[in-house]
Amino acid sequence: MDDQTLPGLHVAVLLTDGFEQVEFTEPRTTLEQHGAMIKIISLQRGKVRGFHHDQPADEFTVDTTFDEADPMDFDAVLLPGGKVNGDRIRNIEAAQRFLQHIDQERKPIAAICHGSWLLASAGLAEGRTLTSWPSIQDDIRSAGGNWVDQEVVVDGNLVTSRQPDDIPAFNQKMVESFSLRMNASPGAQAERPGLGASS
């Protein structure tokens, strides 16, 4: 039976082509089972393609773009990884601004694998303890972050993990963090115009 601990919570998933598909689909399933509503935000409308490591996988419909999306419409953010996706998205200024606004409001951000790259590029790693795919640990340290090798790390509103093997622990802490947001902001459950269920 689904545990509706996140009814009506609006979660933005920031993606470009080349994301690690399982790092999107498994957290999405968990969030939807808990009642959250998921929206994919990308550079342009149309489709984004996931990858299974270095092999192209499925396409998913983009709901809105970084330029169009209003951070005030969302309660939390999910940042899947994938080297290609992570390297692209960290250089998109509109994605950085979106994430900065989310962080300023102390809304939860859950990043896995190369998803933490965007945290570093957006200036959100400074003074924070987090983890990621090991190859980007120097980037996180250069951005002022304290990188640790753990399956999941929670630092304030940030939840981070290293790799697909960490997804069960990541999902658990993500739901806990997002649930705290629900409890702190009862208005998060209210319906917002134009934000229907994800396709």
Catalytic-labelled residue, pool 10, 34, 53, 114: 114
Q: Are the C-beta atoms of residues 62 and 95 closer than 8 Å to each other? A: no
φ, ψ of residue 136 in degrees (nearest 5): -105, 15
Cα 58 to Cα 51: distance, rounded to the nearest angstrom: 7
Strands of 19-20's sheet in order across: 19-20, 47-52, 55-61
Q: Are the C-beta atoms of residues 159 and 132 closer than 8 Å to each other? A: no
For residue 160, give the amino acid letter.
T
Running DSSP on this structure, what letter comes out for residue 20? Answer: E
114 is a catalytic site residue: yes
Nearest to 84 by CA among 123, 108, 64, 57: 57
Query: Which residues form the catalytic set?
Result: 114
